Structure 1
Amino acid sequence: MKIKDIVNRDIVNLTNCEFEPIHIPGSIQPHGFLLGINIHSWKIDFCSGNIQDYIPSTHQAILGNEFKAIFGEKKEALIKDYIKKNALLSSSPLKLKLLGYPFLCTVHKSNEIYILEAESAKENSKKVADVYDQTSQFLSYMNSTHTLKELCEMVVKGIREITGYDRVMVYRFDKDYNGEVFAESVREDLEPFLELHYPHTDIPVQARELYMKNLLRLIVDINYTPVPLYTVDNGEDRNLDLSLSILRSTSPIHVQYLQNMGVGATLTISLIHKDKLWGLIACHHYSEKNLTPEIRLAAQLQGHFITSQIDIRQSNEEYEIARKSNIALEKLNALHLSANEDAFKTVVQNENLLATCNASGVAIVFNNTIYKNGLTPDDRNINKLIKWLSVFTNNGTFSTEKLLDFLPDVNDYCEEASGILYHSLSTENDDCIIWFRPESLTEINWAGDPNKAIVKDANGLYPRNSFKLYKEIVKCQSKLWLQPELNAGANYAHTLQKQFNLLIISQEEEKYRKLSELLKETNSELENINWISTHDLQEPLRKIQMLSSRLLGKEDEQFSETVINSVQRMNNSAKRMQTLLIDILKYTKIQHINDSFETVDPHDVLVEVLSDLNEMINEKQAIIQIETLPQITGIPFLMKQLFTNLIQNSLKYSFPDKTPIVKIKSLGICELNSNSFEVLEFSDNGIGFEQQFAENIFNIFSRLHSQEAYKGSGVGLALCKKIMQVHKGSITAEGIENQGAKFKLYFPLNHE
């Protein structure tokens, strides 16, 4: 059996520093030993090379054997029971004697391997009872604090008392994962780090990910020699994921970083809030130092106290801000505003609009007009800004304390508008409200130049070795928008949107009112014109007809043929004009009909129509074929007018040498646009028309033929369309030139 180590010798280089595989170092720290047990066979697949320092055996003798064959069935049963009972496998230590030596062990699962980590069980320098007494005392201190900072200060003091580290810090991340020492308890002779900032590169992404998985990390001796892990060489990829391991070997870059700081040992506890890494409890010692598992857990428990209190303490700190914002918001909502654009002048000048979000300036944009108050950019820059915001946010919301990060040309006005809170109030235009905050010059004390956090040269990759105080002045950045301020802004934007909608509705109502008045005036004028057309104009037409008839009827007068033809043409023109005026009157009267609908039998209506058209039918020798027709809901006299026009149309546009045939039948019930219609069809064998004119023929005064070829006013089919609209139905036409035409009438079954 061949055995090999799994040390990752390429763990870090110049090209993979940002993706350093720190979770698979293939080695551990020497203050304990590690076994990797296959979860199925319970064979020992991995073993650290230092096991002989703790028990009388070697990794060569152990690897490949079943656990019980080396340590006995009883020990295997104890471990299985421990695994079964502990959901958090590494949270409480298992006391176990292996080959006669006492150990405190933790077990966790890594893929298909149970990782057992064992540390020697030594006499505690502090009894467990004492540790928990201190923790209980800490709880009483916690109840006496009010702010998050006070709580963190109490935590670092309590952890330092329990653990004995030289320095204990609460390290808090900002949104970019730059860190700040938020609270500190330190040995008096050491330089304090309180309020110093550290760049995000000091704790890279992969390290933060591990802090999310493994909440406690211990380095006993910075100058340790890594212990390799061994496995049976069977040709497979034998990496072992040590993300949750307590003994996991540390990145050489991180070790060198700590050495540059002069640190000898560390303990790190993750502070997780809302599923994100909020910060760390970082403990430093300036010589090597180990802790018993009980003391580690006591320290970790205090970390849990912090995370459980973050929301409460932050809420307490933000309560006063929220209270003032809500008071301002209530006063704004209590304003009685008019339903016109003067309302925005009233709102924007109200001091509560600025107080709502603790802003220094505000602008409301409606209908391309800017209403503003306080410290704001000029109108030109506001217009540029809202054009960008509407596109960038897709007419949504946006807030930032550093607009410069998103819009490089903001330098022109960053003094008055480094921070903005924006709410779009329309999806169709640039209507919006924007609160502004001015530049707030901030001095940040960095522990060394953040631009030199990692040093690269031809020989390799190195962490910075200078932690000399570096001061940075941050420009074009405002104070942070706190959540209560963001909430208040969103609430008032919703209220303002209602005001916008009310104003838009009022403007639309005013527009429609004016249109209605204009339409009423126009209709009145049209009625006057109709009266003149149908009454005043018909009088001279009747006189023309009467005089022309008298002239033609005088037997004692001899007129030339030219004169007679002229008088006849004049008489015919007067008749056509009279017919046109009558048709116009019929057309305009239809829109004023308010007759109630009733059930009508089309057969009865057609009997009357055919009786009225008897002379024309006989003259044309036409055949009218009527099939069984269903009853229809309609207005009887309008249906008579409709049927009359359609039959007259078929007779008028028939061939002179061909017997006209008009067929009238039912096509049954048809579904259109989720509505049901009874459909009647009038078809003929006349001259027809080209289908491209199927819609135009329903336009008033529309004619496809000359007056000389076919007499008529061009109103008949327009009248048919109007009648069908009154019935809330429709009419369509199909034609084939020289083969006939079909007209389909759609009567709705429901007139509600």
Structure 2
Amino acid sequence: MSSSGVDLANCADEPIHIPGLIQPHGALLAFDHGGALRSWSANVPALLGFAPMLNQDVARLPLQAPVLAQLRECIDDSGAEGCTRTAVETTMAGQLFDCIVHSDAHRVIAEFELRDIRTETVATFALKAHTAIERLKRQKTVGTLLQLAVEQVRAITGFDRVMAYRFRHDDSGDVIGEALDASLQPFLGMRYPASDIPAQARRLYTINTLRLIADIGYTPVALVGAPGDPPLDMSHAVLRSVSPIHVEYLQNMGVAASMSVSIVVNGRLWGLLACHHMTSLRVPYSIRMACDVIAQVLAATVQSLDARQRATMVEQAADVRTHLIETLLQEDDVLAALARHAADLAATLGADALVFAQQGRVLVHGEMAHETATAVVASLPVDGEEVLQRCNRTEWPAAAHVPIGPWVGLLGLHFDPASGGWLLALRREQIETIRWAGKPEKLAVTGPLGHRLTPRGSFNEWVESVTDSAEPWDAGRLLVAEQLLAEMHRASMTRHAEMDRARMQLLAMLGHDLRDPLQSITMAATVLQHGAQPQQLGRRIERSSGRMQRLISQVLDMSRLDSGMGLALRHESTDISRLVEDLVDEARLAHPGTLYETAVASGVTAGVDPDRMAQVVSNLLSNARHHGTGGQPVLVTLRDDGETIAIEVRNHGAPIAPELESQLFNPFKRMALQNRANRTGMGLGLYIASNIVQGHRGSLTYGYEAPHVVFTVRLPAAESAP
């Protein structure tokens, strides 16, 4: 196929929106925006009874007054966006037509479609459609909704078969609703490949949601137009001729007439109502529009059902997330905390198994071997995106293809990069038996249309087994995962802050506890110099040095446990405005008794470590809350003067005593330990915050502007990773 240059791209490149042809059960006139006739179908004289002339003004055409009025209105309203499509009944050359008028950026088009059903009969069908719409609105599931829709559309239009199929993530479509004549073979439950609807056809299905082919064996009618004019864009035309490949496709199915009605949800082709008839069938325009309204009601109902389902899922996920974060903040062992909520997390993320990894440890939830979980963790990138997705074995590193076994679907949440913390949701491959409506591949052959891809010739059931692929995570699950990741990031940030604080407390205690043994050793050494008894003093020195050794060993042990969790900074472009606003909002929720007032400049960004900067701001907010005068607001401002970003936190209170001010940013503050406001800590927060800010080439300063205590963080506006 590659040698001939014939592939699916050729099929996708077919310019089906400008065929230059129409179906013969109607005639077409195309005007410029000034009302001059620029092109028409060759059958206008035979069908409409007059001979058109190039540049003939619309007012001079022998058209009935309602048609002329619609055309004039559309010409007056036409522009870049075009006028709204309208339809009016008219009689031309003794025949009844529906005249459909519409426009685009270049032309105003009038299509005259023959109608052989009386107006009274059409009105009856429209009433049936209204009843169908009311029933559709009451459906509670997508399956019952589409099944009712195909039954109602078949009753209204008279087609032999009406199918409803829903598109999957790969654009193939499953038939999940069908109403048909008893003599036909059912297609319910079968799948149509994505290649049945090329990209440009999918585009037309989205912008022109209803398409009728009244007689598949028709002879197309050519358009006549001004030489040199660009081809007429017929994307919105109801008479547009059909691609010869599509004609052959329908003929292979034994179909003589067809109609398709698009189900468009959120601007995307979600599904399709496909109507087939074994003989030619013309469905009047107004009845087709009733079917189009049914499809719009379908789309709105599907969107409503989907939104309701997603809201339920998000609500349940929020509950799981809340309980998980509470456990993470209380539990010393992060992996143990995750394992405690593993079943709920697996249900929330739609996973068959979960793997938790951090600092070389791996825990598994589900029917996955530990060796497989280890291979999965080994395949993860050291750096990269925080949310990692893999849905096919080929997306994994080659070395992992065999060790991962059937676990080819991965959704990885890198919740703590500093410690290699991952939450991994795994899905098994779908060993799926697909009932295709015919073998999906197209073949390149030479035929009446030249050497090209031909549509499928058989639509008998063709079964295929699919392996090495897992169902991808949908948008709803990904939203839940991103929300979970954000909360876990915050929990990790809090844990790191607590561990930093604990390390500083340990150092403070170490410094205090080392004084006594050091003093004993010094005194013993002094006494020895004056010739005292060495045996007793030696035992004192031994005891004191042993105590020192134990204290230092404890520090070294903690250092080993705490490896890699220091003040390492991960610089990234961060919305400082959003960060400050979010933290103030959190403080408001957590401490409703404290009033916060903000003056935060919008759109302030810088290259910083967002978690560490959040730690700084949180500490300043906490200090302001603890030390501020009750009933007075905490004031938070953010400014950007182009070179420096300033974050300022003010609280109403007395100035800090001069003797404490000089030690304010030191880790060991005796007065801080005596302060009742610090009864839950040792006053180490400002020391840590100052180090974080200095790591960003900035400064953290204290000032007093009566009656306010003011702490100010200043950062270079263009700060980036060293």
CA distance in 2 between partners of 1:673 and 1:188 (Å): 77
Deviations 1:418-457 (A, max 9, x none): 322221113556322112223342211011222x234345
Amino acid at match of 1:93: A
Query: What residue number does 2:554 align with?
Result: none
SS in 2 for 1:93: strand
Query: What residue number does 1:307 align with?
Result: 299
Asked if residue 501 in structure 1 is aligned to residue 493 in structure 2, the reply is yes
Asked if residue 30 in structure 1 is aligned to residue 20 in structure 2, the reply is no
Query: What residue number does 2:277 align with?
Result: 285
Amino acid at match of 1:468: N
Give, in angstroms, the shift of residue 352 of structure 1.
3.2
Change (3 A) 1:241 1:436: same
Q: Is the 8 A contact 1:37 1:44 kept in 2?
A: yes
Q: Is the 8 A contact 1:325 1:484 kept in 2?
A: no
Query: What residue number does 1:253 align with?
Result: 245
**1:220-259 pair list within 5 angstroms:** 220-233=214-227, 236-259=228-251
Query: What residue number does 2:147 align with?
Result: 153
Deviations 1:274-329 (A, max 9, x none): 11111111111111111111111111111111101112233556677667656655
CA distance in 1 between partners of 2:110 and 2:368 (Å): 63
Change (3 A) 1:427 1:141: same
Give, in angstroms, the shift of residue 211 of structure 1.
1.0
Structure 1, unaligned runs of 5 or more: 1-11, 540-671, 676-747
Amino acid at match of 1:344: L
SS in 2 for 1:425: strand
Deviations 1:655-680 (A, max 9, x none): xxxxxxxxxxxxxxxxx9999xxxxx
Query: What residue number does 2:170 align with?
Result: 176
Structure 2, unaligned runs of 5 or more: 1-5, 531-642, 647-700, 705-709, 711-722
Query: What residue number does 1:51 align with?
Result: 44
Change (3 A) 1:430 1:379: farther
Query: What residue number does 2:462 align with?
Result: 470
**1:2-401 pair list within 5 angstroms:** 16-40=10-34, 42-58=35-51, 61-71=52-62, 76-81=68-73, 91-97=85-91, 102-124=96-118, 127-233=121-227, 236-315=228-307, 328-329=320-321, 331-333=323-325, 335=327, 338-341=330-333, 343-350=334-341, 351-376=343-368, 378=370, 382=374, 385=377, 388-389=380-381, 391=383, 394-399=384-389, 401=391
Change (3 A) 1:414 1:118: farther
Asked if residue 455 in structure 1 is aligned to residue 444 in structure 2, the reply is yes
Asked if residue 426 in structure 1 is aligned to residue 419 in structure 2, the reply is no
Change (3 A) 1:446 1:203: same
SS in 2 for 1:412: coil
- Count of matched residue positions in the alignment of Structure 1 and Structure 2: 528
Change (3 A) 1:168 1:376: same
Amino acid at match of 1:132: A
Q: Is the 8 A contact 1:201 1:454 kept in 2?
A: no
After TM superposition, the structure 1 stretch with the greater mean CA deviation from structure 2, 156-165 or 456-465, is 456-465
Amino acid at match of 2:415: L
Change (3 A) 1:194 1:90: farther
Give, in angstroms, the shift of residue 508 of structure 1.
2.0
CA RMSD of aligned residues (A): 4.0
Query: What residue number does 1:549 align with?
Result: none
Change (3 A) 1:477 1:57: same
Change (3 A) 1:362 1:323: same
Change (3 A) 1:416 1:35: same
CA distance in 2 between partners of 1:387 and 1:512 (Å): 36
Amino acid at match of 1:354: A
CA distance in 1 between partners of 2:175 and 2:253 (Å): 15
CA distance in 2 between partners of 1:490 and 1:36 (Å): 51
Give, in angstroms, the shift of residue 97 of structure 1.
4.7
**1:603-682 pair list within 5 angstroms:** none
CA distance in 2 between partners of 1:383 and 1:511 (Å): 34
Q: Is the 8 A contact 1:216 1:300 kept in 2?
A: yes
Q: Is the 8 A contact 1:438 1:478 kept in 2?
A: yes
Give, in angstroms, the shift of residue 185 of structure 1.
0.6
Deviations 1:450-474 (A, max 9, x none): 2x23434595122221222111122
Give, in angstroms, the shift of residue 230 of structure 1.
0.8
CA distance in 2 between partners of 1:276 and 1:88 (Å): 22
CA distance in 1 between partners of 2:501 and 2:385 (Å): 26
CA distance in 2 between partners of 1:169 and 1:381 (Å): 44
CA distance in 2 between partners of 1:328 and 1:485 (Å): 14
Amino acid at match of 1:53: A
Q: Is the 8 A contact 1:414 1:439 kept in 2?
A: no
Q: Is the 8 A contact 2:327 2:337 kept in 1?
A: no
SS in 2 for 1:356: helix
Q: Is the 8 A contact 2:146 2:164 kept in 1?
A: yes
Q: Is the 8 A contact 2:85 2:103 kept in 1?
A: no
Deviations 1:358-392 (A, max 9, x none): 4332222223332332233545754654654554x
SS in 1 for 2:402: helix
User: Normalised by the size of structure 1, how large is the TM-score?
Assistant: 0.62
User: Normalised by the size of structure 2, how large is the TM-score?
Assistant: 0.65
Amino acid at match of 2:444: V
CA distance in 2 between partners of 1:314 and 1:106 (Å): 35
CA distance in 2 between partners of 1:674 and 1:125 (Å): 72
Change (3 A) 1:403 1:491: farther
SS in 1 for 2:61: helix
Amino acid at match of 2:423: I
Q: Is the 8 A contact 1:91 1:297 kept in 2?
A: no
Change (3 A) 1:37 1:673: closer
Change (3 A) 1:406 1:30: farther
CA distance in 2 between partners of 1:14 and 1:496 (Å): 45
Change (3 A) 1:138 1:511: same
Amino acid at match of 1:292: P
Amino acid at match of 2:300: S
Q: Is the 8 A contact 1:453 1:464 kept in 2?
A: yes
SS in 2 for 1:244: coil
